[in-house]
Structure formats: structure tokens, C-alpha cells
């Protein structure tokens, strides 16, 4: 852990944000963060867990805009952390702050491959999670589920959730949760899960008890 250096008194004027939700993309996975402040040259981020170890990562906003960034300082503890990053090139502050997009904004979605056991009308169905947000998830099931069906979603490392099938494309399904995750709750779950996911695809559980949450 390194303290914030005196040189962090940046020459660029820094504009404070209202703790806007975003995510960082690392080799080890994708993690929720809050954008605290930004200038043309850099950005300050707050995490709900320790700062990700990789110094060079990508920052993705809710509108899908992607920025390569490199860490310049960090203040990290076991439970939470803050870090400052410089952009690979100066950014247009107006576009960053407005998060302009051709499409309506939606909750930050984080890509995550994780086996899920779905239960629909008392019948179990195996699935693989593709991405997750506070409000829902996209997954690929081993059979087509009816749109509107009530489902029980059980995955090791995530709290149990109930929801319904909002849309379906072949075996891909979109699930809307009855109870949304808290932002900090989801962030901490993903941080705990992702470093341990290596080799998961080669050793997927075949027994339903193995993939039910404790």
C-alpha cells in the first residue's frame, strides 16, 4: 500500500462527481467502482474492497465508453480502497461527465462465467451465467424457459435470488430479480469470486448439490 503523494496536487483542475457507478476491467475479472473525481488527465476511483492489483486496466462507464487507465497512487485497506489513475490520453470532460449515449442507460453489467442452478416449476435446470447487474442477469440455460416464468437462481458465491424470465433468445435468457443486490453487496461478492474462477470451466459441477449455495 502506498500513501497518496504530494505530487497528487494535480495541475489539471479536477471536477468532483456524485460517486457515479462504473466498472473496471482487469485480467482477473470485472469489478464495480465509484468515480469520485475526474480531470482531463486522470480519474479517482473508490472500491468496496481492496484496490485491484493490476496497475494498467480499463474503466468502463454506464454508457459503454471505455478508457485505458494506469494507477498512479492508491490508499487500500482490506475492506475498501481508493486509487488514482491517469488516462492513456487526455479525455473530453464534457463527454465523460454527460455519459452521452444513443441508448438508454442501464445498470452496470459485469461479465462473469459461473454455473447457476435454476429451478422452474419444481424442475432444476443447469445454466451458465454470462453477466450480472444489481437488478438481473443474462445466462445460457440447457433448455428453453418460458418467458415470464418464475425462477429460483442458485449459484455458489452469490446470495440466492428469485426472479422471472424477462426475455429469451434461443438458450440465452434475461432474468430480472425480485430483490436487487445492494451495490456494495454485489461488489464484494464479485471481488471474492473472480480470483478463484480459474479452471472453473474445466471443472463444472455435475451434481446439483455442488452448485447450490450454502
pLDDT of the residue at 27: 92
Q: Where are the alpha helices (DSSP H) in 48-205?
A: 93-98, 183-193
* CA atoms lying within 13 Å on the CB side of residue 44: 20
Burial call 61-71: b when 16+ CB within 10 Å, e when fewer:
bbbeeebebeb
Q: How far apart are CA 11 and CA 39, in angstroms?
A: 10
Indicate the pTM of the whole model.
Answer: 0.80
CATH topology of domain 6-98: Thrombin, subunit H (2.40.10)
Torsion angle in degrees (nearest 10) through CA of 95, 181, 160, 147:
-60
What's the confidence (pLDDT) of residue 13? 58
| Residues forming CATH 2.40.10.220 domain(s) in the chain | 6-98, 110-211
The CATH classification of domain 110-211, taken from the options 3.30.2130.30, 2.40.10.220, 2.160.20.10, 2.60.40.10: 2.40.10.220
Q: What tens-digit pLDDT sequence spans the chain (214 residues)?
A: 455 454 444 455 566 666 899 999 999 999 999 999 999 899 999 999 999 999 999 999 988 999 999 999 998 776 789 999 999 998 888 888 887 766 666 789 999 999 999 999 999 999 999 999 999 999 999 999 999 999 999 999 999 999 999 999 999 999 999 999 999 999 999 999 987 554 444 444 434 333 333 2
Q: Pairing state of beta strands 172-177 and 136-141?
A: antiparallel
Cβ atoms < 10 Å from Cβ of 173: 25
Question: What is the C-alpha separation between 211 and 115, in angstroms, rounded?
Answer: 7
pLDDT at 34: 95
pLDDT at 92: 87
Cβ atoms of 110 and 130 closer than 8 Å: no
| Of the candidates 201, 190, 160, the residue with the CA atom closest to the CA atom of residue 178 | 160
Give the Cα separation of 174 and 181 in Å (integer).
16
pLDDT of residue 95: 84
- pLDDT reported for residue 105: 67
| Residue 56 phi, psi (nearest 5) | -115, 115
Closest CA to 85 of 97, 73, 77, 93: 73
Amino acid at each position: 500500500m502506498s500513501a497518496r503523494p504530494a505530487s497528487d496536487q494535480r495541475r489539471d483542475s479536477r471536477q468532483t462527481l456524485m460517486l457515479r457507478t462504473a466498472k473496471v476491467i482487469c485480467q482477473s475479472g470485472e469489478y464495480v467502482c465509484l468515480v469520485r473525481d475526474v480531470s482531463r488527465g486522470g480519474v479517482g476511483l473508490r472500491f468496496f474492497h481492496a484496490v485491484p492489483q493490476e496497475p494498467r486496466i480499463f474503466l468502463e462507464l454506464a454508457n459503454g465508453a471505455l478508457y485505458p487507465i494506469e494507477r498512479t497512487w492508491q490508499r487500500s485497506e482490506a475492506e475498501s480502497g481508493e486509487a488514482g489513475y491517469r488516462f492513456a490520453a487526455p479525455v473530453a470532460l464534457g463527454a465523460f461527465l454527460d455519459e452521452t449515449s444513443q441508448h438508454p442507460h442501464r445498470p452496470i453489467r459485469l461479465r462473469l462465467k459461473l454455473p447457476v442452478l435454476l429451478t422452474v416449476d419444481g424442475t432444476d435446470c443447469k445454466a451458465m451465467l454470462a453477466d450480472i447487474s444489481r437488478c438481473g442477469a443474462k445466462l445460457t440455460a440447457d433448455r428453453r424457459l418460458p418467458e415470464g416464468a418464475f425462477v429460483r437462481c442458485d449459484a455458489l458465491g452469490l446470495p440466492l435470488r428469485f426472479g422471472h424470465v424477462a426475455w429469451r433468445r434461443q438458450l440465452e435468457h434475461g432474468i430480472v430479480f425480485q430483490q436487487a443486490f445492494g451495490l456494495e453487496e454485489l461488489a464484494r461478492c464479485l471481488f471474492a469470486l473472480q480470483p478463484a474462477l480459474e479452471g472453473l470451466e474445466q471443472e463444472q459441477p455435475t451434481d446439483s448439490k455442488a452448485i447450490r449455495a450454502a
